[in-house]
Structure 1
Amino acid sequence: MRNIQASTRENRIAERLIPFFREWGFTWLPHLHQFRQSTERGFTCVILSVSDYGDSSLLEAHLGIRIDDVENIAFPFTNGLPGFQPDSMTLATPLARLFGQAFERFEVSDENSADEAVAAIRAQLQEKGLKFLRRYSSLEHMDALFNETPEEPLRLAHNQANRCFRAAVLARLLPRRDFESLAETYGRHLREELRVPAATLEKYLRLISFLQHYSQN
């Protein structure tokens, strides 16, 4: 069960952010700890992660983007729980990564520190975060992000194996002429560099087989 104090702090932080997000068309979903906005292809969101440490909490903001067409194909081949599929995301990344940091956690212990954390998050969203969400809710831009350098890790992705799955789907949906080459590159990356379990590799191979026969018509 989640710590009650942490949950209370999260609610207080969310209350401070609701007016800001309302202006941009986002709705607070407390059960998912996120502000969400529907898009033509899925949704974008800002997730609040609050961890309790005694008399204070650490707050971190993440950005999330879901492209329905990608998730409807990719998710069943991943290790995600079936009940989570409607809320799964094509990309989720700490807001701090847009500013060159691996993460940024704000300590919240009183009203003043809560106000400071909220002000910092708002400023970062206005500077880069909201533009990022709008740009990469596009299938074409998300494909460019995932597939521009297939031989390298995607810095914004939490899970590099899941990146391989979704990158292959993105390449097929466009469709890209180099789909087969990309599929081979990601398969090799899963096998030789990430060294995923045999079951995960088998799921990837089944996904590629599905995509090779996939038609959007």
Structure 2
Amino acid sequence: MILSKFEVKFYQRLEGFFQPHNFDLVLDQKQFRKATQNGFQNIIFSVSETQKEFWIEVNFGVRHEFIEQIAQQFLNNARGYRPSANTLVISIGKFQDLKYFRFKVSDDEELNTILEEVKSFFEDIGFGFLDDVNNLLKIDDILNDSPTKPCRFVYNQVHRCFKGLIAAKLTDNSNFATISNIYRHFLLKNGTDDDLLNYERLVSFLHHYNAN
């Protein structure tokens, strides 16, 4: 992994802010991560360079270990990615209903401004949101409250079907059967044959699954 001088400086400038909140820098994955009882919370940075400008996208979310341990058995993710997969993830821009939003840095003054904006966002909203959704019932609500509509907290809507169904099972959601059929219909229209086959395997697995 090769980091630009800008990225090194960027992460170093943020480390002193995130560490007191128990977020450690995971440099090889370009994120700050906080271990939780159920998995982790993380803030992920994507930096791209165009001429003399840097563009920064900030995503944040949570991983629920029980959901992911089941889901990753039925998804076609690379094995190396599975331990780091998020259950929920969203960008700062999308969270604030700002389409295609990224931070632009062209000089040190803009960098200082953006660092303060990132810090303020997490102090005012971000950390509270991460703590709020670090909860199985809340994850179930986010994934399954409107199962016929896209979920803004998951980028891959096919994966949402798998993780949403697992969350519904783990919380004994009374609408489990309805949710299962809605996601099956979605995959029939939008998924591959492999997606549908794996989904049916998951449904069968969950039918016999007992968390206790």
TM-score between the two structures when normalised by the length of structure 2: 0.95
Measured in 1, the distance between the counterparts of 2:81 and 2:40 equals 15
- 1:214 and 2:209 are equivalent in the alignment: yes
**1:121/1:103 CA distance change after superposition, 3 Å:** farther
Query: Could you tell me how far 1:161 is from its partner in structure 2?
Result: 0.8
Q: Distance in 1 between matches of 2:72 and 2:54?
A: 32
The residue number in structure 2 matching 1:188 is: 185
Which residue is equivalent to 1:146?
143
2:33 is the counterpart of 1:32: no
**Residue ranges of structure 1 left out of the alignment (5+ in a row):** none
**Alpha-carbon separation, structure 2, partners of 1:58 and 1:32:** 18
TM-score of the pair, normalised by structure 1: 0.93
Separation (CA, whole Å) in 2 of partners of 1:78 and 1:176: 22
- % identity of equivalent residues: 30
Q: Does 1:123 align with 2:126?
A: no
1:12 shift after superposition: 1.0
- Contact 1:98/1:129 (8 A) holds in 2: no
Contact 1:10 1:48 in 2 (8 A): no
Question: Which 10-residue stretch deviates more, 99-108 or 169-178?
Answer: 99-108
Q: Distance in 1 between matches of 2:123 and 2:86?
A: 22
Distance in 1, Cα, partners of 2:99 & 2:128: 19
For residue 18 of structure 1, give the secondary structure of its aligned residue in structure 2: helix
Deviation, structure 1 residue 196: 1.2
Q: 1:86 & 1:41 partners in 2: Cα distance?
A: 13
Shift of 1:123: 1.4
Distance 2:100 2:116 in 1: 17
Counterpart position of 1:198: 193
Alignment partner, residue 94 of structure 2: 97
Does the aligned pair in 2 maintain the 1:51–1:59 contact within 8 Å?
yes
Distance 1:165 1:51 in 2: 31
Q: CA deviation at 1:159?
A: 1.0
Question: How far 1:126 moved relative to its partner?
Answer: 1.6
SS at match of 2:148: coil
The answer to whether the aligner puts 1:75 opposite 2:69 as a matched pair is: no
Partner of 1:49: 46
* Aligned length, in residue pairs: 212
CA contact (8 A) 2:25 2:31 kept: yes
RMSD: 1.3
**Does the 8 A contact of 2:90 with 2:152 survive in 1?**
no
Determine whether 1:11 maps to 2:1: no
Query: 1:78, CA displacement in angstroms?
Result: 1.0
- 2:87–2:154 contact (8 Å) kept in structure 1: no
SS at match of 1:176: coil
